[in-house]
Amino acid sequence: MNEADYKAFYDRVGQSNGWDFSKLKVLAEGAQADIYEDVKRICEKSDLLLDIGTGGGEAVLAIRDAALLLVGIDRSSGMIQTAQANLVRSGASNVRFVEMDAEQLDFPGRFFDIVTCRHAGFTARQVAKVLSRDGIFITQQVAEGDKLNMKQAFGRGQSYGEADGTLMRQYKLALAEAGFLDIQSMEFDTVEYYRTPEDLIFLLKHTPIIPGFGQEEGDFEILRAFMEENRTEKGIRTNAKRFMIKARMTPDPGGIRQ
């Protein structure tokens, strides 16, 4: 998938589902990455927060009490439409959603205390431009080794064939070049069990794990064989591999907020 394909995909998925996977029945074993739990712990009530790649705004709305103002941006018009509808239903008064590309953040300089980005691309220098001097940036990303047994079964997939850790190293280098300090990273590889075939099909239809899933001849036969091979008493087994990076612009004499 090229950039245009990804944008079209997220516009379509954004209008129909946003970034809401709460209906999936999945059992997870092992430590899980959860960027917004970290945000709730770090955030102060007076903070201004920017969320890059906010999708349908589900996560931002769930933590709206953690900050004074939360702004979610996404380059997909479909995602922002869903986010606006979710905002109306929530009744939140301190959340805003804006269609915007992460490569050109149109906000005043040093405006935000915290910038977050989950499973979306970002430009380190743009984040540095809008983050306060003592501000914190946290990102959670999908690693190359995510859903590895599934990608191997299909012979294709998101970042398939790329060395694990490549994206994390690229982002850490870009952050350092943009002036960030105290750059910390963590990796998570969680075992997942999807309870039913319908849960797995929903995931594949609403994410780019297997680009064009269902459009290539034989996809559903490959999926059937994959499910048979990986079926356990707990469900259909695969993995969720993630990494998180936390960085700040300048040293804080009082220490990093924990």
- Residue 111 domain flag: yes
- Residue 101 domain flag: yes
Q: Which stretches within 111-218 are classed as H helix?
A: 124-130, 148-154, 166-177, 197-206
What residues have CB less than 8 Å from 224, skipping those under 6 apart? none
CATH number of the structural domain spanning residue 10: 3.40.50.150
How far separated are the first and last CA of the chain, in Å rounded? 39
Tokens describing residue 189? 């590889």
Q: What is the mean pLDDT of residues 76-104?
A: 96
pLDDT at 257 over 80: no
**Model confidence pLDDT, tens digit, residues 157-193:** 999 999 999 999 999 999 999 999 999 999 999 999 9
pLDDT of amino acid 13? 42
Chain centre distance of CA 71? 16
**Model confidence pLDDT, tens digit, residues 116-172:** 999 999 999 999 999 999 999 999 999 999 999 999 999 999 999 999 999 999 999
- Residue 43 domain flag: yes
Q: For the ranges 89-103, 152-166, 213-227, which has the lowest average pLDDT?
A: 213-227
- Residue 82 domain flag: yes
Q: Are 148 and 218 in contact (CB under 8 A)?
A: no
pLDDT of amino acid 215? 86
pLDDT at 254 over 80: no
- Residue 96 domain flag: yes
Domains in the chain, number: 1
- Residue 196 domain flag: no
- Residue 24 domain flag: no
Confidence of residue 214 (pLDDT cuts 50, 70, 90): confident
pLDDT of amino acid 193? 98
Kindly tell me the burial class for residue 186, based on how many C-beta atoms sit within 10 Å of its own C-beta (0-12, 13-18, 19 or more): middle
User: What residues make up the domain containing 63?
Assistant: 3-19+31-144+159-190+240-248
- Residue 149 domain flag: no
pLDDT at 91 over 80: yes
Strand pairing report for 181-194 and 235-248: antiparallel
